[in-house]
Amino acid sequence: MLDHGILGVVERQVRTWSSGDAEVYAAAVGGFSPAFAIPLLQHGGPQIGLTGADMTQVLHAEQSLWLHRPLPAQGSTVVTKTVEHIYDKGSGALVVSRWESEYATTRSSCFIRGEGGFGGERGETRQFTVPQTRHEVSHFRTTADQASRYRETGDVNPMHHDPEFARRAGFAAPILHGLCTLGITVAGLEFTELHARFTAPVTPGDELRIERWPTGEFRTFAGDHRVLVGSVRYSRRT
């Protein structure tokens, strides 16, 4: 059972990176974008585990990113992680964590199936919509080793490389990292803020259809299934 004692816990750690880290990220998602700050902080910064939770029941629900200043090609920064909220969604618990630095802040929401019903606040749900206007459409064919390549950014969740773990989680095979799908979706964009919700899994080898609007909204499909929806605030139009 999830240990609710993690709520409010704060950890700090110095994170150092090189230009090679950005190159690894770009190779894993098909191009560079400010979304590189997410694995930089989230997987290279403090790690407060979901103590007591069955990790096969954990799903990545949402991700946000705010850029405060440009990331240098190499450098170091102090990263602070805080477990901000544990919401009661009925069928599960939603754990919201935030990583902060002088360069960027990223927030991740994880849904833990079977951990709801404890009488906590339900929390608000961010609404995502897309305009009924013309938009850009592109395609990206993921490869069988896409998850292995993204794992090199520091995201070592066994859901994405361990077949037995994935089966216990209810998947026929390891699935692609949601952050990899997000990185592919926003590759090449320059923005200062990003918000996204993961709505369905992607299997390495799937072809993605990416729809992006000039106003910043986007959504991504694998076949007929929408797997991602969100928006960015542009620092400049690309």
Q: Which of 38, 112, 175, 210 is catalytic?
A: 175
pLDDT of residue 143: 98
Which CATH number goes with the domain that contains 17? 3.10.129.10
Indicate if 48 belongs to the active site: no
Cα–Cα distance for residue pair 53/138, rounded to 1 Å = 38
Q: What are the residue ranges in the chain where pLDDT is below 70?
A: 236-238
Percent of the chain at pLDDT > 90 equals: 92
How many residues can be counted in the chain? 238
Of 24, 46, 28, give the one whose Cα is nearest residue 160. 28
Q: Which of 92, 116, 178, 230 is catalytic?
A: 178
pLDDT of residue 124: 87
Q: Which of 60, 160, 177, 195 is catalytic?
A: 160
What H or E segment, with its residue span, contains residue 184? helix 178-186
The pLDDT tens digits for 32-55 are 999 999 999 999 888 777 888 999
Indicate if 178 belongs to the active site: yes
pLDDT of residue 125: 85
Identify the burial level of 70 via C-beta atoms within 10 angstroms of its C-beta, where 0-12 means exposed, 13-18 middle and 19 or more buried. exposed
pLDDT of residue 238: 45
Indicate if 175 belongs to the active site: yes
Cα–Cα distance for residue pair 166/141, rounded to 1 Å = 22
Residue 39: domain span: 4-234
Of 20, 50, 48, 49, give the one whose Cα is nearest residue 36. 20
Q: Which of 155, 177, 183, 216 is catalytic?
A: 155
pLDDT of residue 188: 96
Domain count, the chain: 1
pLDDT of residue 236: 63
